[in-house]
Structure 1
Amino acid sequence: MTCKTFFATTAAVLALSAGAATADTWRYAFEEAMDEVQGKFAQKFKEEIEANSDHEIQLFPFGTLGESADTMEQAQSGILQFVDQSPGFTGALIPEAQVFFVPYLLPQDEEQLASFFKNSKAINELFPPLYAEQGLELLTMFPEGEVMMTTAEAVTGPDDLDEVKFRVMTNPLLVESYRAFGATPTPLPWGEVYGALQTGIIQGQENPAFFIESTKMYEVTDHITRTGHNNFTTAVMANKDFYDGLSEEDQTVIADAIDAAFDYIIDYQKGLTEESLEKIKEAKPSITITTLSDEERQPFMDTADSVEQEFLEIGGDQAQEILDQLKADLEAAADS
C-alpha cells in the first residue's frame, strides 16, 4: 500500500465512522482478523465496555487502517484510542520489549504462561513507564499460542535452515534469533508474506497454528515444525493522553474490561493449537507436522545464550533489569 493510498483509505474509513461517532465512541485497531485471537479479545473488550458504560467501541481489524506501523502511528497521534500490537513491531520504539524474542525463555505450559502474564511484575510495573514514554498506556499483554516454523523443506535442526530466507517481523532481536538458528532472516510486512512464499522469495516464516490455519499459510508451505522456541506475545495499549484524560470511573471500566477479556482469551485458546493443526492437516493432507524431540531441540536451545546477550546490548537502558525480573516472574509462575 502506497502512502497516498493508505492515507486516502484511512480518511475514508474514519470519515464513515465519524458520521455516527460521538465523544463517547472509541476506536480500537488490532493486527489480526475478527475471528482470530486478537479479534476475539477485542470483541470481548467491546462487549464489556458497552455493557458497563455508555461508550461505544469501533473495531478495526488488520488491513482496515494499513499495516502495523500505520496503526501504531495513529494510536500515538490519538486517531485511535486503543491498539493491539505485538512487541515484534513495537521493539523499535521500546527496545526492552524485544525480550519476548529471546528463544526458550517462555514456558510451553499454558497455565504457567497465563499466570506469568497476569501477575508479572516486569509487565505490570516495569514496562508501563517505557510505553508511557512513547505516548502509550500499557493495558495488558497476553500469549497467543506456540510459535511454529513453516518451511519449504523439512527442519530437524539448524543445519536445515542454512541459506533459508526466513520472514521475520521488523524486530532486531528476532532477526538475531533466526540468524543464530542458521537462517537468513528477512524482515517483511505481514501483507507481503503469502505472495513471497508463493513465489519463493522467502522459504519460511513463523506463527501460531491458528494464524497459519486462518490465513491459509499452509497453502504455500510443505512443512510445519514445532521447535518449542517461543509463544507469540501481544500487547493492548491506549493512547496515553486519551487515557489520562478519562474519569476514574472510565479507567475502572477499561481495567475491568481488560481483565474480563484476558480471562476470556486464555480460556478461548485451550485446545486451539491442536484444533488448528487438525484443520490444516484436513485441508492439506500432504503437509508434514513435526514436533522436535528434546534432543533435536537442543541445538536450537544452545543459541539462547547468545541471543540473550544480544538483547542486553540492544535492549535499552533497562534491559538487564527487565530480563532479571522476567526470569524471577517466570520462576514464580512455575512455583504457583
Structure 2
Amino acid sequence: MTSFKNRFLTGIAAAAMLAAGAGSAAAETWRYAFEEAMTDVQGVYAQKFKEEVEANTDHEIQLFPFGTLGESADIMEQAQAGILQFVDQSPGFTGALIPEAQVFFVPYLLPQDHETLVDFFRTSVAINEMFPELYAQQGLELLKMFPEGEVCMTTQEPVHSPADLNEVKVRVMTNPLLVESYRAFGATPTPLPWGEVYGALQTGIIQGQENPTFWIESTKMYEVSPVITCIGHNNFTTATMANKDFFDGLSEEDQQAIQNAADAAFDHIVEYQKGLHEESLEKIREAGGEDVQINILSEEERQPFMEAATDVEEEFIGMTGESGQQILDQMKEDLAQAQGG
C-alpha cells in the first residue's frame, strides 16, 4: 500500500513537472516592428504593450524600431507573411492596401481638441467595428488605432496661403489621397520613402514635408527645412495590428491578454501625448534658434486650405466608392457624437 502510494505521488509529481515543462515550451518570443524610434510615440506605445503582455503571459515581445527591418512597406510585408507577429503602421502607408483607411487623411476631418479626439477613437463605430473587417481581409487583426499628434508642414519659405505652395515639392507618404491633398493645397506632392527625406531636403530635391511636431523635433527636420507651418489640417493616426493567422491560432487567454495590452497602451499613449505638441515646438525653437520660424496660421489664413479640402473629400469617395462613403458617413456621425452633437 505504501509502495503504491509512493508510486502514485511520484506519478503526480512527474505529471506536474511535465505540465510545467509543456507550459515553458509553449512560451514564445513575438516580434513587433514599428515606424518610429523607441522614444517616439509609437515606441512609447510599443514598450507599454510589451510590458503588459509580458506581465500577463509567459510570452516575450521583441521590439524593432524604424530602420531595423527596413522601411514601412517592408515591415507590412513581413507582418502579412507571418515573419512579424505585430506591426504598427500608419494608414498613410496602408492606404494602397486598404483604400478606405485613407479617410484619416481627409483634411480638417479630425478635431483638434485632444479630449474630443481621444473620445472619438475610443467610441467610433467606424474604427472599432468597420475597420477591423477591412484589415482582416488583408490578413491583419486590427488591435488599436490611435492619434499621434497634430501634423505641421516644414518648408524653406513661409507659407500663409495655398499660393505660397505653388511649385513647392512637398514630400508625402506613398498615399494617393495625401497626394491629392497637397495638390489641392497648391503644392507639388512628391511621394518618397522616409529614409530619403532628410537628404532630399538637404539637396533641394524637395522643399518641404509634413509630420507631427514630435517627429519633426526627433528627426531634426528643422535643420534642413526650418519654416514650420501649422494649418490645423490633420492629426497623425496610426494602427497596431497582428498577423491574423497568428492571432486566430492563439488561445482565448492569450488573445484577451493581447487586446488588454493594446487597450492599456492606448490609455498610456493618449495621456503621454497631452501637451506633447507644444513641448515639441518649444524644443525646436530652443534647438534651432534664429534659423527656425514657427507659424501657427489664424482661422482666417486657414480658410482657403479648408475650402480646398472639399475637393479632397470628393477624391476620397471617387477612390473608394460605396464602402468609402459608408466609412466617411459613419466617421462623421461618430465625430458628432464625440463632440456632443
The answer to whether residue 154 in structure 2 is matched with residue 159 in structure 1 is no
State the secondary structure of the residue aligned to 1:145: strand
Partner residue in 2 for 1:293: 298
Q: Please give the per-residue CA displacement for 1:17-72, whole angstroms capped at 9, x wherever unaligned.
A: xxxx9751110000000000000000000000001111100000000000000000
Give me the whole-angstrom Cα distance separating, in 2, the residues matched to 1:194 and 1:308.
Answer: 30
Partner residue in 1 for 2:315: 310
Partner residue in 1 for 2:15: none
The answer to whether residue 273 in structure 2 is matched with residue 272 in structure 1 is no
The answer to whether residue 253 in structure 2 is matched with residue 246 in structure 1 is no
What are the ranges of 5 or more consecutive residues in structure 2 without an aligned counterpart?
A: 1-24
Give me the whole-angstrom Cα distance separating, in 2, the residues matched to 1:295 and 1:164.
Answer: 22
Following superposition of structure 1 onto structure 2, how do residues 1-336 of structure 1 map, counting pairs within 5 Å? 24-286=28-290, 287-335=292-340
Amino acid at match of 2:313: E
State the secondary structure of the residue aligned to 1:201: coil
Q: Please give the per-residue CA displacement for 1:275-295, whole angstroms capped at 9, x wherever unaligned.
A: 111111111112111110000
Contact (CA 8 Å) 2:49, 2:262: kept in 1 or not? yes
State the secondary structure of the residue aligned to 1:38: helix
State the secondary structure of the residue aligned to 2:70: coil
Contact (CA 8 Å) 2:27, 2:58: kept in 1 or not? no
In our comparison, the structure showing a higher alpha carbon Rg is: 2
Superposed CA RMSD: 1.1
Provide TM-score, normalisation by structure 1: 0.93
Give me the whole-angstrom Cα distance separating, in 1, the residues matched to 2:320 and 2:92.
Answer: 13
Amino acid at match of 2:46: A
Q: Please give the per-residue CA displacement for 1:66-105, whole angstroms capped at 9, x wherever unaligned.
A: 0000000000000000000000000000000000010000
Give me the whole-angstrom Cα distance separating, in 2, the residues matched to 1:49 and 1:126.
Answer: 26
State the secondary structure of the residue aligned to 1:315: helix
Give me the whole-angstrom Cα distance separating, in 2, the residues matched to 1:315 and 1:162.
Answer: 28
Partner residue in 1 for 2:9: none
State the secondary structure of the residue aligned to 1:321: helix
Give me the whole-angstrom Cα distance separating, in 2, the residues matched to 1:36 and 1:22.
Answer: 32
Contact (CA 8 Å) 1:158, 1:182: kept in 2 or not? yes
Give me the whole-angstrom Cα distance separating, in 2, the residues matched to 1:278 and 1:162.
Answer: 29
What are the ranges of 5 or more consecutive residues in structure 1 without an aligned counterpart?
A: 1-20
Give me the whole-angstrom Cα distance separating, in 1, the residues matched to 2:276 and 2:239.
Answer: 20
1:221 CA displacement: 1.2
Contact (CA 8 Å) 1:194, 1:220: kept in 2 or not? yes
Determine what percentage of the aligned residue pairs are the same residue: 76
Q: Which runs of 4+ in 1 moved over 6 A?
A: none
Amino acid at match of 2:301: E
